Amino acid sequence: MNDAVIELKDIRKKYRMGDIEVNALNGISMVIQRGEFVSVMGSSGSGKSTLMNILGCLDRPTDGEYLLEGINVQSLSGDEFARVRNRKIGFVFQVFNLLPRTTALENVELPLLYNREISLNDSKQKAMDALTRVGLKDRMYHEPNKLSGGQQQRVAIARALITSPSLILADEPTGNLDSRTSEDIMLIFKELNESGITIILVTHENDIASWAGRILFMKDGRITSDNAGKGHYRKNNGSLLSGGNGEET
Amino acid sequence: MKLTNTIKIAFKNLIKNKMRSVLTSLGVIIGVGSVIVMVAVGTGSQQKIKNQIASLGSNLLIISQNRERTGGVFLSGDTNRLTLDDAENIKKYAPSVRWASPFIQNGAQVIADGQNWNTSVYGVSPDFINIRDWEISDGSFFTEADNRVKKKVAVLGKTVADQLFPGQDPIGMTIRVRNVPFRVLGVLAAKGKNSFGMDQDDLVMAPAATVMTRLSGSRFIRSIYVSAWSEKLMSTCETEIKEAMRISHKLKPGQGDDFTIGTQDEIIQMATSTAVTLTLLLGAIAGVSLLVGGIGIMNIMLVSVTERTREIGLRMAVGARGKDILMQFLIEALVLSIVGGLLGIILAVIISLGLNIFTSINAIINVGIIILSFLFSGSVGVFFGFFPARKAARLDPIDALKYE
Ligand SMILES: Nc1ncnc2c1ncn2[C@@H]1O[C@H](COP(=O)(O)OP(=O)(O)OP(=O)(O)O)[C@@H](O)[C@H]1O
Ligand SMILES: [Mg+2]
């Protein structure tokens, strides 16, 4: 418990649409430890994205308590919220969300522009390192429209990890990719996780979910099951990984 | 975010949309450019008028009859209009006056030797050529004595001499003005065109007394031209003339002046006042176009915010605060307007130079107006950029990321 990245206590989120009230989250309580790789599954409309938005400090719950690395984020101001997103969280989206007509390098640099403590030179170096890490060293100066979907998502991952976040949140990161490319992407997530980064990933596919060490199922804004992953395997070379946080056998 | 980063991002975004940025700035370019050119042309014509009046002569005072009215009726009856005696009295009683000359002007057809020419006939005294800085190129000017005996003599301006006596020496010849014969004594040296393009040599000068009796048939003169001994004596001169005129018109203490003394400065002010009004008017109209340019910026910025909603959402997700987004869009608007302003200044300078070189329009670039219109274009950017920028800054990141 002492190294929890995320602690949720009875988180609720209500949306009002005119007279109708939607309970998108209906009392979520959970703890995620540093270094975990968690998959979130569940049918459409079960509240996965709502939960991710709250975890990512993009949105505030209607009720409940959220501790991020021990800090109660409800009490933070809007600017502090932005700072938390900038320093502690990396986002990966289904639709990549890269800036058009902007090189991969500059896309990756983006979060560092909002960090006063990092000089332009440093940020360029860090962006290069991040791109190298996702295997796009030779595509640094490509613009998004000259990259494949998988490559674009790798740029987005590089952008998420450039700030060395405590947490990477990925909402259906492989939703727009074919299964082969999805595997490449999952491999990158796996490697990041092995290097110690906590990852929470939303997916509809069992194959993808099974890369994680822990799988949450959601239904109607509640977590209905919370299981260890079925097994952490790499399909591409067939070798099995042991449990825990992925030491190769 | 650091300001330098913000500025860098703003420039990058504007360069990505080159065509649109240029078109957006065009409003400001034209606005700033026209403000500067309009004011330059206005200032130029004021300067022209000033030069024109300064060229009337140095240390000049012009006495004219008081045109003050009560109830729509001119107060001045025949008694208090200006006469030749007034001019004499000024010379007699005002010691700081160096030269004084009566002045009458009549338009007339001048005939000589089968040629005829429409020109102005000036009735003056010999002092007039000193006051107005004329030279005699041929023959001589008439004298005070000629003036006293109303001799029918005349001196021709160069243009008139050329028109009436082409290829001939006019000295000693006779010209007829309204059937009155005048003997030509001399020809004035050419002065050329004045700054309004008017021919200054298109005139005939004759003794004032002669012109009054023979041509205008009036006892009165239009005005009296006076030149003081020196610039320093101008105000002394004015008081002395005032005294002299009051004596000449036999005004009792307590009675108001029935004449006005115009100094050169006053004349300049009067003459330029319309030009000043015109300058302000033109500048204001041009200012409106600058405002329209600002609205153009706002329009494009609003479109840009809508188009880039996703980008804004993403920037917020990776840590941009509301004020970072606000600054980014504000600076984009500011860059558009400032770059537009700079280009407008360059355009205005080129146009003004062109006007000066290729046309007779005189445009004087005013540094104050350049600075003012530049600052104004900057404020236009901030003012019209603020609303779209605030709209961007207030977006909800989740909604923005979902925006289609
Ligand atoms: N801004 C909103 N206003 C009103 N209702 C909302 C809003 N956002 C989400 N909801 C509702 O909250 C519920 C949960 O939505 P959420 O997007 O979290 O589902 P999800 O599990 O991510 O679904 P999917 O798998 O399709 O992405 C849904 O019923 C949805 O209609
Ligand atoms: Mg979703």
Q: Which residues of B touch chain A, with CB atoms under 8 Å apart?
A: 1-2, 5, 9, 12, 16, 310-311, 313-324, 397-398, 401
pLDDT for the residue B278: 84
| Nearest chain A Cα distance for residue B402, angstroms | 10
From the CA of A249, how many Å to the nearest CA of chain B?
Answer: 37
Q: Rounded to 10 degrees, what is the CA torsion of A18, A22, A23, A25? A: -110
Least confident range from A233-242, B98-107, B360-369: namely A233-242
Report DSSP letters for chain A, one per residue: -TTEEEEEEEEEEEEEETTEEEEEEEEEEEEEETT-EEEEEE-TTSSHHHHHHHHTTSS--SEEEEEETTEEGGG--HHHHHHHHHHHEEEE-TT--PPTTS-HHHHHHHHHHT-TTS-HHHHHHHHHHHHHHTT-GGGTT--GGGS-HHHHHHHHHHHHHTT--SEEEEESTTTTS-HHHHHHHHHHHHHHHHTT-EEEEE-S-HHHHTTSSEEEEEETTEEEEEEE-S-EE-TTT-PEE-STTT-B-
B368 contacts: CB under 8 Å, gap ≥ 6: none
> Per residue in B279-301, pLDDT tens?
888 888 888 888 888 899 999 99
To probe the interface with B, which of A76, A77, A86 has the most B CB atoms within 10 Å? A86
Residue found under tokens 């996703």: B310
Number of Cβ within a 10 Å radius of residue A173: 27
Q: Is the pLDDT of residue B388 over 90?
A: yes
Stretches in chain A below the pLDDT threshold 50? 1, 231, 233-249
Q: What number does CATH give the domain A36-59+81-241?
A: 3.40.50.300
Among A152, A138, A145, A164, smallest CA distance to A97 is for A152
More confident position, B373 or A247: B373
Q: ipTM, 2 decimals?
A: 0.91
What is the rounded average pLDDT for all residues in chain B? 87
Reported confidence tier of residue B124, pLDDT bands at 50, 70, 90: very high
Q: Taking residues B68-92, what's their average pLDDT? A: 68
Among B21, B318, B396, most A C-beta atoms within 10 A, so best to mutate, is B318
A111 touches chain B (CB under 8 A): yes
Q: Once rounded to an integer, what is the mean pLDDT over residues B242-271?
A: 82
Q: Which residues on chain A are in Cβ contact (under 8 Å) with B397?
A: 58
The distance of Cα A206 from the centroid of its chain, to the nearest Å, equals 17
Give the torsion through C-alpha atoms of A46, A50, A55, A60, to 10 deg.
-140
Whether B71 shows a pLDDT value over 70: the answer reads no
Residues of chain A contacting residue B404, judged by C-beta atoms under 8 Å apart: none
What distance in angstroms lies between residue B347's CA and the mean position of ligand 1's atoms? Answer: 55
Instruction: Please report which helix (H) or strand (E) contains residue B340, including its range.
Output: helix B322-358
DSSP B248-304: HTTPPTTPPPSEEEEEHHHHHHHHHHHHHHHHHHHHHHHHHHHHHHHHHHHHHHHHH
Which atom of ligand 1 is nearest to A53's Cα? 18
Enumerate residues 125 to 184 of chain A having a beta carbon within 8 A of any beta carbon in chain B: 159, 163
- Domain map (residue ranges) of chain A: 36-59+81-241
Query: pLDDT over 70 for what percent of chain B?
Result: 96
Q: Which residues contact B79 (CB under 8 A, 6 or more apart)?
A: B249
For range B87-110, the mean pLDDT: 90
Q: Tell me what percent of the residues of chain B surpass a pLDDT of 90.
A: 45
Cα distances (angstroms) measured from residue B346 to each of B168, B283, B349, B356: 54, 17, 5, 15
Pairing type for strands B180-188 and A222-228 reads unpaired
> Can you tell me the distance from the alpha carbon of B102 to that of B123, in angstroms, rounded to the nearest whole number?
7
What is the distance, to the nearest Å, from the Cα of residue B71 to the centroid of all Cα atoms in its chain?
33
Neighbours of A236 (CB within 10 A): 11
- d(Cα B158, Cα A121) in Å, to the nearest integer? 78
Specify the residue with its C-alpha closest to ligand 1, atom 11: A24
The model's confidence at residue B232, banded by pLDDT at 50, 70 and 90, is confident
